[in-house]
Structure 1
Amino acid sequence: MTSLAVDLDPYILPVPGPDSPVVLAQWISPGNTHRNARYSERVWPLAPLIDNPGTKLIKIHWKNCPVPLLAQVRQATWTMINGRLRPTYLQDRGIRARARTSASDMQGTCYEWMRLARWLHKRRISSLDDCTEEVWRAYASERFVNTARARAELICMRLSDLWAFDQLGAQPAGIAQPPWETEGIDDFLPEAESSAQAENSTEPLDPQVLGPLLVWAIRFVDNFADDILAAWAERQRLMSVAAANRASQEGWAALGEFLLPLIRSGDGPPTVRMHGRRRLARAYVSALTGASLGQVDRFAKQHRLSALVNESPGSCPLQTPVTGLIGERSWREHMDFDEAAELMRHLGTAAAIICLYLTGMRPQEVQGLRSGCCPAPAPAADGIPGRHLIRSQHYKNVTDDDGNHISAGEERKVPWVAITPVVHAIRTLERIVPPGELLFSATHHDFVRQRNNHGALKNAALNQRVEDFAAWANREAQVQGLPKQVVPKDPHGAIGLGRFRRSLAWHIARRPGGLIALAIQYGHMRTMLDARTSSRYGSRSRHGIHSVLDIETALAAADTAAHLRDRLAAGEKVSGPAARRAITAAATTPRFEGRIVPATFAKKAAKFLARDGIVLYDNPDAFLICAFKHENALCEPEPGATAPRQYACTAGCGNTVRTDTHAAQMRGRADEIDQLAAASPEKVAKRLRINANNLRATADAHDATAQTTKALT
């Protein structure tokens, strides 16, 4: 193509020269200061395109591209980085097609092109213009062996982009159009997977895992944070003092007065852990004695302390108060210089767990939070206190008006609502990072090495920190004599950031007891989420947490209907004003097997829950099933809510349904309460016996009014 074509067609880019920048200035945001490479360099950093703090900085390495095809693949890649696909090319490629994609997608696409180039090179094809339709067919037949259908489809799209971007260069290589562009893609793809493989396999965390994990996370933030932050500040102060100390006779004398008694007594000198071994805590000793670091090293060598510190390691107590409690006991006798960095790391992780789990945010949204994102609410109006709102960025599918990917994301039009544990976590993080900084800044959360890292802690780092936090909690649970608060291994593998979002919806829908119930009241979480109509919080149009919550609620309701159907088939009787509706719902509700659901299930779930009056919700705390009908509900659900406020279940509600099993459970609970009353003071015992009698009376009322399915239909 000629320069005239370049001038007349805005989609065609000129041929780059050796000194041309890899990323043209128009695609670099004003605040991005990452280095930009030149076209001739062997490594192309894509950091100038990355503004998302949760995204890893990546590069394109050209060493794996065969030399004969290097120039052509490099030019097509440069065109992809700086150009835009034509709207006519994108119009039939689905709603997710983008004129410009993310840096990570560009890297993946480029490496797919390199893979093709290596295949061509092995067959002595040295130019892309020799990649004909027949060559495309041969490559596809080999490339897609043992490749999942969805992956193969993505590969086809990336290979088609090579043809498309080649045409957008001023001197195209002339690669042929892939045959699937004209014949359709289906014939080139592997067979479709079974339904189980094609479904969303993200599993919610097991309640036995999440319960103690959440308890320890909230305990860290609420009970331990002040102690840990004070210890870290003291550690940093001592490090500064040690670095400033100069050698003196007084310092040398103080070293002997401090260390020699510890050596003679067998208590051992203060030590720290380094690379799996104990070493003398030289900075700690220097700061306490006034000796220089060099003097500490000479003293240690003179007295051969390197062997002693491993035989009799001593602690490094800090003179900071310990106020945190586990139950009624102090959690530490003293804070330790050596442990401060590790505890700061776990404190940040605890705050991350709380934010990930108790907001429903995606990991990238949590990584993008900044200090000041959750200001104090406005003064109460009409006696109703304001809610804490979180202003945050979101990144998924964010594009400009031309369909170009925006790495920096954009602020959510609708803020997240923060419950108390989340507010406490954010306030703790704001004490760790400077004002306006990312709450999970990789630089400010690197307490051990203190490197100047880019952006926020990345997914891999946070995943590892969550596992390390669980391991620490397990050790601490054993030390503190709390075996029931050990975090077991999850049956579905590593905890992982991506599992918290679905876990929130699953646990709200299922309302398990145990430690999770102690840590957070799920009923109140649902109440805030069900304010979707009035507040548009996380609205459906944004595919927010509501779609995930709807899926889990629909699955839970279907399970409730299935269990009721099984009980009725076994001959149990049913009572309550909504008994007939419940029987109808049990007979017409489909049974869903397992917890893995198709990605398309969200719309079906929302439609399922909108069947006002014939959706069943189990309420084991109240020993009943709620056949939820909004106008009958005495629990005062939010306008537009599709589920009851189960924690506010009220006697006499027209949605109540009970079975013989519920009556038996009520009598069993009454017996347990009687046993508790027998060991309680008289006034307390009296109230307990009243509760037990009420349960038995309700069970008797069921027996008197319960009917068979046949009698009610």
Structure 2
Amino acid sequence: MTSPAETAARSGPVPARALVLAARPLRAEFRLEETSRFADDAWWLTPAWLRADRKSLKLDFTTVPPPFVHAAKSLFYALLTQDTPPGELPLTIPSIRTYFSCARLFLTWVHNRGRTLAQVSGEDLDAYHRDLAAQRLSLASTYRYRRAVRMLWAYRSRLPDALATDPLRRPAWQAWARANPRRFGENLTERIPEQIMGPLLTWALRWIDDFAEDILAARDERAALDARPPTGPDAVSALAVLLDGYRLRRQPLPSLPPGRLRRSSRPAPCLSHLARLLGHDRDRLERLDAERLIAQAVREVGVDSDCPLTHRVQGQLDGRPWLAAISYYDGPRFERLLQAACWIVIAYLSGMRDSEAKHLQRGCLSVQRDPDGRVYRHRLHSRAFKGEDAHGAQATWIVTAPVARAIAVLERFQPVDQPYLFAPPLTSRSYRQRRSPYGVLDSNATNTDITDLIKWINDYCTAHHRPDGIPPERGRVPHLTTRRFRRTLAWFIARRPGGTIAGALQYRHQGIQMFEGYAGTSDSGFRDEVEAEEALARGQFLAELGADSDRPSLAGPAGDEAEARIADFARHTVFDGQVVTDEARLRRIVARHDAHMYPGTFVTCVYNPDRALCRTSSDPGDQPVLADCQPLACRNTALTPANHQALAGHLTQLEEALSDSDRLAPYLRHRLQEQHRATAAFLTRHASEPAE
């Protein structure tokens, strides 16, 4: 059945008073009749943006060349009303805003050549594509600009002026597409290097576990100072009493911090802070005879370098307080950095997308306990939007204790009447300027705060001669966007020795728990991301083995078969002794010529379902179940030199444990002896063979 919006779009010009968001669900606080109409110069999309983590969106047609305004409005009206021609898919509100910028660029290019859309020739389209390619945009951006141009042809039945030629049939467009095949579903987001992610996560946990109490206490003291009532009607007398207290304690008077002073200025008493301590306005002190009293006190006790709060810092770092004191003026920045640290821990250790983290609300964490009352599972509840409608869907993540501690900090951090945990701090510029219309930080604000946290960490490490700062990325302070954390976690889980199951303990635990999550209707796709990273890691492993002609042959029951698979894979990945290093190309090779070899710490699985002890005959499966691996008995086992070394190291550890066997329980001693016997016999049977 055709909707009224579709009928209007197909039957003729769109009425000037047509509501452009009529086909879209709206936020509860907006009424449809108050939203933008076709004749408006700007269409506000904010009412139809149902998520809480984005800033205002609009289509400003005053930025489009005047001859093309009506065509642009017709196109985007069709997109907003979801009046899509065959072969075109509906777009979300943020995608429509993105394509508006792309289409505007092309319309401006056409306008500068003095043509209408119908007059644009195939040669013009090729020329625009060459200009676009010359900008050296990312692959994803180039595809968006190309698609925006083609919309002006695909939606030609909805437009008063449209392209007469399908751009995708032009030689330049086709040649570029052949050279840059679209990799649907491939995550092109850059991961965070390990040397950056490691110390950053360590510092984020410090902020939550060691510094948070001090920052929250300072926040409360600061709020109490800002709300302090006047100490009495006589401000001068109250000031004299306050200054006598500084004399009695032999404490210097507060000063503006160095960052707030002019370069040529010397530290001077901070009149604003003194007035704040008295509960009076600075202007009132300036009108009274206060300068004489303050100058006399300065001669006796001097001036501090800041405005320290009275809270005594409790957090320790290497056995000493992490700060001597917290300044009144440092409080707002510390609050932002604490919130950024919580975001890092929650997003990175859960695999949540930024939009999912930003919809966390008070009470989002639930726990499961064993009969003794010990917590054994933390569940995090939020909304997921990937693959869902505009409203999103309830979803659940299984998380670890550090995430639970970060949630607890955020629940104390926000006022009790604020449901969202990532709402801007009350002292932040984002809150004062209402930068986000719904009171939740957008991804740009979080990106800025993460960068600021890195700068603070490095400044702190420099000042305290610490070696654990955040190293630069490409010679500058790392700029870590929210999108990179999820990609990085998938990479770490996949790249630990043995992958998800047999890797380093923290990532093994993290991967298993997260794969139990997303119990709601939404599919997180995180398992797919990890499996894609694992496939790429296997491809790189096999390609390097195939290129190394001097390495020892793989040993083990499946050693010969492993060598045959490596040689076959090398025909697709090694050319003139050089290994394919382009990740996108290697992913395609693995997808087409998967050797089904799975490298691990102790063994390499040369998977054959007929011989796999980890699978049953009724469920052979297309890949091994590493949790059920029986490496010393399975005929799918092969050994690289690294595997052999790891097993030898494990054998040494068993020997050390058995050297003091009199202290071991009989059952444990027997088990260790059996492990030692089986491992030693396996290594004897399958020693690595030198290369021929």
Matches within 5 A, 1:86-101: 86=84, 89-90=85-86, 92-93=87-88, 97-98=89-90, 101=91
Contact persistence 2:236–2:290 (CA under 8 A): no
Give 1:294's match in structure 2, choosing from 271, 283, 299.
283
User: 1:442 & 1:602 partners in 2: Cα distance?
Assistant: 46
- Deviation for aligned residue 1:487: 1.0
Contact persistence 2:254–2:269 (CA under 8 A): yes
Matches within 5 A, 1:170-189: 173=160, 175-176=161-162, 178-180=164-166, 184=169, 188-189=173-174
* Partner SS for 2:379: strand
* Partner SS for 1:473: helix
- Residue 618 of structure 1 corresponds to 600
Contact persistence 1:245–1:292 (CA under 8 A): no
- Residue 411 of structure 1 corresponds to 393
Partner AA of 2:384 in structure 1:
H
Cα shift readout 1:597-650 (whole Å, capped 9, x = no counterpart) = 369759939x95xx8xx533232xxx655667896469xxx998967768x999
- Residue 65 of structure 1 corresponds to 64
Partner AA of 2:428 in structure 1:
D
Give 1:597's match in structure 2, choosing from 564, 571, 584.
584
Give 2:218's match in structure 1, choosing from 227, 231, 236.
231
Give 2:419's match in structure 1, choosing from 419, 422, 437.
437
- Residue 216 of structure 1 corresponds to 203
The alpha-carbon distance between structure 1 residues 234 and 135, as it changes in their structure 2 partners (threshold 3 A), is same
- Residue 479 of structure 2 corresponds to 494
Matches within 5 A, 1:326-341: 326-341=317-332
The reply to whether residue 508 of structure 1 matches residue 493 of structure 2 is yes
Contact persistence 1:54–1:457 (CA under 8 A): yes
Give 2:454's match in structure 1, choosing from 467, 470, 477.
470
The reply to whether residue 423 of structure 1 matches residue 404 of structure 2 is yes
* Partner SS for 1:146: helix
- Residue 56 of structure 1 corresponds to 55
The reply to whether residue 522 of structure 1 matches residue 507 of structure 2 is yes
Contact persistence 2:364–2:381 (CA under 8 A): yes
- Deviation for aligned residue 1:142: 3.0
Partner AA of 2:433 in structure 1:
R
* Partner SS for 2:131: coil
User: 2:328 & 2:343 partners in 1: Cα distance?
Assistant: 24
- Residue 660 of structure 2 corresponds to none
Contact persistence 2:35–2:44 (CA under 8 A): yes
- Deviation for aligned residue 1:570: 3.3
Cα shift readout 1:218-274 (whole Å, capped 9, x = no counterpart) = 111122212211111111111111689765343232344356789xx8945343466
The reply to whether residue 28 of structure 1 matches residue 46 of structure 2 is no
The alpha-carbon distance between structure 1 residues 436 and 596, as it changes in their structure 2 partners (threshold 3 A), is farther
- Residue 355 of structure 1 corresponds to 346
User: 1:524 & 1:237 partners in 2: Cα distance?
Assistant: 43
Identity %: 22
Cα shift readout 1:406-444 (whole Å, capped 9, x = no counterpart) = 2xx4114x5222122222222222222346622222465
Cα shift readout 1:525-565 (whole Å, capped 9, x = no counterpart) = 2222455xxx77699x9461112111222233344445666
The reply to whether residue 555 of structure 1 matches residue 509 of structure 2 is no
CA RMSD of aligned residues (A): 5.2
User: 1:20 & 1:7 partners in 2: Cα distance?
Assistant: 9
The alpha-carbon distance between structure 1 residues 393 and 705, as it changes in their structure 2 partners (threshold 3 A), is same
**Contiguous gaps of at least 5 residues in structure 2:** 134-138, 574-578, 657-662, 664-672
The alignment's TM-score, normalised by the length of structure 2, stands at 0.75
Contact persistence 1:242–1:290 (CA under 8 A): yes
Partner AA of 1:372 in structure 2:
G
User: 1:342 & 1:67 partners in 2: Cα distance?
Assistant: 45
User: 2:388 & 2:586 partners in 1: Cα distance?
Assistant: 20
- Residue 254 of structure 1 corresponds to 241
User: 1:294 & 1:343 partners in 2: Cα distance?
Assistant: 28
The alpha-carbon distance between structure 1 residues 73 and 197, as it changes in their structure 2 partners (threshold 3 A), is closer
User: 1:504 & 1:45 partners in 2: Cα distance?
Assistant: 36
* Partner SS for 2:95: helix
**Contiguous gaps of at least 5 residues in structure 1:** 400-405, 676-682, 684-692
Give 1:545's match in structure 2, choosing from 526, 533, 546.
526
Give 2:441's match in structure 1, choosing from 457, 466, 471.
457
Contact persistence 1:245–1:291 (CA under 8 A): no
The alpha-carbon distance between structure 1 residues 695 and 28, as it changes in their structure 2 partners (threshold 3 A), is closer
Partner AA of 2:314 in structure 1:
T
Partner AA of 1:238 in structure 2:
L
- Residue 678 of structure 1 corresponds to none
User: 2:128 & 2:346 partners in 1: Cα distance?
Assistant: 42
Give 1:376's match in structure 2, choosing from 363, 367, 373.
367
Matches within 5 A, 1:533-682: 542=523, 544-562=525-543, 569-570=549-550, 572=552, 579=559, 582-583=562-563, 586-587=566-567, 589=569, 593-594=580-581, 596-597=583-584, 604=591, 608=594, 615-619=597-601, 625=604, 632=613, 654=634, 658-659=639-640
Partner AA of 2:275 in structure 1:
S
User: 1:304 & 1:189 partners in 2: Cα distance?
Assistant: 77
Contact persistence 1:45–1:59 (CA under 8 A): yes
* Partner SS for 1:431: helix
* Partner SS for 1:358: helix
Partner AA of 2:393 in structure 1:
E
The alpha-carbon distance between structure 1 residues 435 and 411, as it changes in their structure 2 partners (threshold 3 A), is farther
User: 2:294 & 2:503 partners in 1: Cα distance?
Assistant: 52
Cα shift readout 1:321-341 (whole Å, capped 9, x = no counterpart) = 533222433323333322222
- Deviation for aligned residue 1:367: 2.4
Contact persistence 2:254–2:306 (CA under 8 A): yes
- Deviation for aligned residue 1:346: 0.8
The alignment's TM-score, normalised by the length of structure 1, stands at 0.73
Matches within 5 A, 1:75-94: 75-76=73-74, 79-80=77-78, 82-86=80-84, 89-90=85-86, 92-93=87-88
- Residue 130 of structure 2 corresponds to 145
Partner AA of 2:52 in structure 1:
P
* Partner SS for 1:241: coil
